[in-house]
Structure 1
Amino acid sequence: MLDSVKITRRQSEIRQALAGLVGKEKPTEDEVRNIEAMDLEFRQNETRYRAALICEDTERRDAGAELETRSGKQWSDLVAAFEVRQIIGALNEGRALSGKTAEVVQELRNSGGYKGIPVPLMALERRAGETIAGATPDPIQTRPTIDRLFPGSVAAQMGAQLISIGSGAIEWPVTTSAVTAGWAATELGNVAGPTVYATTDKALKPEHNLGIHMRISRKAMLQSGDALEQAIRRDMAGTMQAELDKAIFRGTGADGQPLGVIPGVATYGITATAVDAEIDAAVFRAAVTRFLVANAASGPGAVRLMVRPEAWNYMDGVASALPDLSEWDRLLKIIPAGNIAMTTNALAAPAGSPSAVSALLTTAAGGVAPIFVGIWGALDMIRDPYTDAQSGGLRLTALTTADVTVARGAQLEVLTGLELAAA
């Protein structure tokens, strides 16, 4: 029992006892002494009561914070113990799921329908002891099924936000009006206006399905369970990371793919600058300046850059006008090295004559991510034991649904025609 509750009960007892004593016209000496003792105790208890409330307030705050995050912690603990090898055994041999793996599958089935066995995407993350890339996103809100992009994802390094969606679509209203202020020209004159306040909805829709198809040999299934689980997780995570990155930035919008950032420049209202000149640090400095002028960034440190390795190779080999500095060294003085991502997957290979590449710059203006990636539900794992029946193998198909959108095109800029040779 809390000390404050005990003190409150004792105060009630003292008041009840005092009520009977003070009503007497001629109390005895013992009764007078009791009144004085209880009065002193009552005043002391008031001080103790206030002190108890102060102490218990901190305890209540700590307990409340624990209760607010307890459900998320419990789910994370369940997924941390999720065993992919149980899924393989259930699909291949009909084994019953057990332990925390069965609890996770049951929770996922309750939240949405799956044709096969649902697998949380968090279960595909590399566990402790494995090599983990440095880039890990920091989402605004922890979601029950998916809470981050896979480690090492270029989309995460460029500030993309992953949204886990149970069902339906999500829209963001973005202000598109140009509301301006104006001074009254005369004493009785009107100020400028009225101006229409308009918005445009940017939606994520479940119209694009990504599938991962794997063949598992009989030898692999007979190996130790932990080795099989780690191998399957690495294959799934690597394949999904590569395909999502490619779709986010280079998706064609056709043949089932979502419309990526670079092909969707016109659709998303993204600024595209044709440099068509030798790549140098001044090109990126000018792009950062355009962000600052448009109020899309507060400084160069808020800008992220994605380039091809060939661009780094060329710039690092070209001496700048400054002594003992290459063009790449000058670029690092403009954009921090931690904000630069190199990729061969999310940007097209050098092409043309002279050979040229493209680059992408993003910024998170006002806390709004430059790119939104929506994923519906968990992985839907479907088993095919018949195709490879002659060899005793098993085929697995993992399906997920994803989409890409850009809320404000002013937070992104694409640079094209960055030539890798002097004119």
Structure 2
Amino acid sequence: MLESKKLELRRSEIRQELATLAAKPTPTEDELRTMGDLDREYQTNETRYRAALIAEDTERREAGADLETRAGREWSDLVAGFQMRQVIGALNEGRTLEGQTAEVVTELRAAGGYRGYPVPLLALEARAGETVSTGTPDPIQTRPLIDRLFPASVAARMGAQMIAIGSGAVEWPVATSAVSAGWADGETGSVAGPTAYATTDKALKPEQTMGVQMRITRKALLQSGEALEAAIRRDMNGAMGAELDRAIFLGTGADGQPLGVITGAATYGITSTAIDAAASWGAYREAVVRFMAANAAGGPGGVNLMIRPEVWNFMDDAEAFAGTAVTEWDRLLKNIPAGNIAMSSTALSAPTGTPAACTSLLTTSAGGVAPVFVGMWGAVDLIRDPFSDAASGGLRLTALTTCDVTVARGAQLELLTGVQVA
């Protein structure tokens, strides 16, 4: 009980006792002495009561601030105790889920329908102590939920914003108006007329479902223990990250795939420029200048560049000036930071033609708006196939997740085609 509440109750008791004693016409000496003691105690408690209220007011403010952020932290703490091996045991042997794992599954099932066991996306992250391509993740660093899953993905390095969506379709209003300024021509002249503020909605819809299939042998189930959980998380994380990178940029928009940024450049309003020349800093510099002229980028340092490994190989071998050790790649790195350059053989098609040529993509984040939005709905739906590996006692798992891709402003991206690497 709060101290102020205790003091308030005691003050009420003192008032009752004083009322009883005050009603006596001829109180005895003991009763008079008791009334004096109660009066002093009442005054002391009055002072203590005010002090308690002041102290508890600060505590209430701190508790209120804590409650405002507790929901997200409590969910993260709950998911941190989620055990994949419990789900595997439930699917394979019908075991009962326990502890935090059971709580998470119950919460997810209450939020949406799943055929199998729902697995939160956060549970697929690599935990501390597990080696990933970029080293061990820092558990103190706070990042968006899905970005946290794929920190080394090409999409994340190119500035794509990945969003976790509970249900339904999400639209992102993007300003498209061209506000103009003008001077009044003379003392009675009018300034430039008002320009309507217009926005365009870019919708993310849950229409594409991606699946990851895993086969776990009976020996692995009996032998691995906690190592099995780490292996499943790493494998699912890697498979989902690689396929998302491919679909975000090269998705066909047909056969259940989302429309990728490069494949749907015309649909998204992305400028495509044919280089049809050897890869060089000059070709990329012109694209950066176009970005800056369109007010999409403030300088080369604000541009992200995605290239094929063959482009790096060609530019690092090509001297920019005869008789010097300065290569075209050196000139590129002097203007675009190495951290802004992503090399991928998954998100870009292999070079074709004679001479061999490929495609490059430039992106920038203008005004805090990401060039690409990637939405993922709900949790991963983990389903068991009880028949495919029944003869060997193995376990076949299918993990399903729904995602979509959209481009906010086409001006924040530029596609370079015909970048020759031979």
Q: TM-score range by the shorter chain?
A: 0.7 to 0.9
How far 1:172 moved relative to its partner? 1.4
Cα distance in 2 for partners of 1:214, 1:303 equals: 38
Structure 1 SS opposite 2:86: helix
Matching residue's letter, 1:125: E
1:11-410 residue pairs with structure 2 within 5 A? 63-134=63-134, 146=146, 148-321=148-321, 323-410=324-411
Cα distance in 2 for partners of 1:4, 1:85 equals: 49
Cα distance in 2 for partners of 1:111, 1:305 equals: 39
TM-score with structure 2 length normalisation?
Answer: 0.83
Structure 1 unmatched runs, 5+: 9-37
Q: Would you identify which runs of 4 or more consecutive aligned residues in structure 1 move more than 6 Å? A: 1-8, 55-61, 135-141
Cα distance in 2 for partners of 1:209, 1:76 equals: 25
Cα distance in 1 for partners of 2:73, 2:276 equals: 52
Cα distance in 1 for partners of 2:391, 2:168 equals: 42
Query: What's the CA shift string for 1:237-285, capped at 9, x where partnerless?
Result: 1110111110001111111100010011111111111111011111122
Matching residue's letter, 2:371: P
The answer (yes or no) to whether the contact 2:278–2:421 under 8 Å persists in 1 is yes
How far 1:316 moved relative to its partner? 0.8
Classify 1:214/1:180 alpha carbon distance in 2 versus 1 (closer, same or farther; 3 Å): same
Cα distance in 2 for partners of 1:140, 1:393 equals: 38
Structure 1 SS opposite 2:396: strand
Classify 1:133/1:63 alpha carbon distance in 2 versus 1 (closer, same or farther; 3 Å): farther
Cα distance in 2 for partners of 1:360, 1:64 equals: 47
The answer (yes or no) to whether the contact 2:125–2:149 under 8 Å persists in 1 is no
Query: What's the CA shift string for 1:212-252, capped at 9, x where partnerless?
Result: 12222222222232122122112211110111110001111
Structure 2 unmatched runs, 5+: 9-39
| Higher deviation after alignment, 101-110 or 215-224 | 215-224
The answer (yes or no) to whether the contact 2:182–2:192 under 8 Å persists in 1 is yes
Query: What's the CA shift string for 1:18-59, capped at 9, x where partnerless?
Result: xxxxxxxxxxxxxxxxxxxx9xxx9xx9xx98xx97x99987
Cα distance in 2 for partners of 1:331, 1:65 equals: 48
How far 1:210 moved relative to its partner? 0.5
Matching residue's letter, 1:276: D
The answer (yes or no) to whether the contact 1:149–1:162 under 8 Å persists in 2 is no
TM-score with structure 1 length normalisation?
Answer: 0.82
Classify 1:160/1:175 alpha carbon distance in 2 versus 1 (closer, same or farther; 3 Å): same
Query: What's the CA shift string for 1:289-341, capped at 9, x where partnerless?
Result: 21111111122211111111111111111112284221111111110011111
| Higher deviation after alignment, 78-87 or 247-256 | 78-87
How far 1:395 moved relative to its partner? 1.5
Matching residue's letter, 1:75: W
The answer (yes or no) to whether the contact 2:144–2:162 under 8 Å persists in 1 is no
How many residue pairs end up in the alignment? 389
Classify 1:102/1:187 alpha carbon distance in 2 versus 1 (closer, same or farther; 3 Å): same
How far 1:186 moved relative to its partner? 4.3
Cα distance in 1 for partners of 2:393, 2:412 equals: 52
Query: What's the CA shift string for 1:322-366, capped at 9, x where partnerless?
Result: 842211111111100111111110011111110111111111111
Structure 1 SS opposite 2:353: coil
Structure 1 SS opposite 2:298: coil
The answer (yes or no) to whether the contact 1:139–1:148 under 8 Å persists in 2 is no
The answer (yes or no) to whether the contact 1:139–1:162 under 8 Å persists in 2 is no
Residue in structure 2 matched with residue 27 of structure 1 by the alignment: none
Cα distance in 2 for partners of 1:392, 1:141 equals: 40
Matching residue's letter, 2:133: A
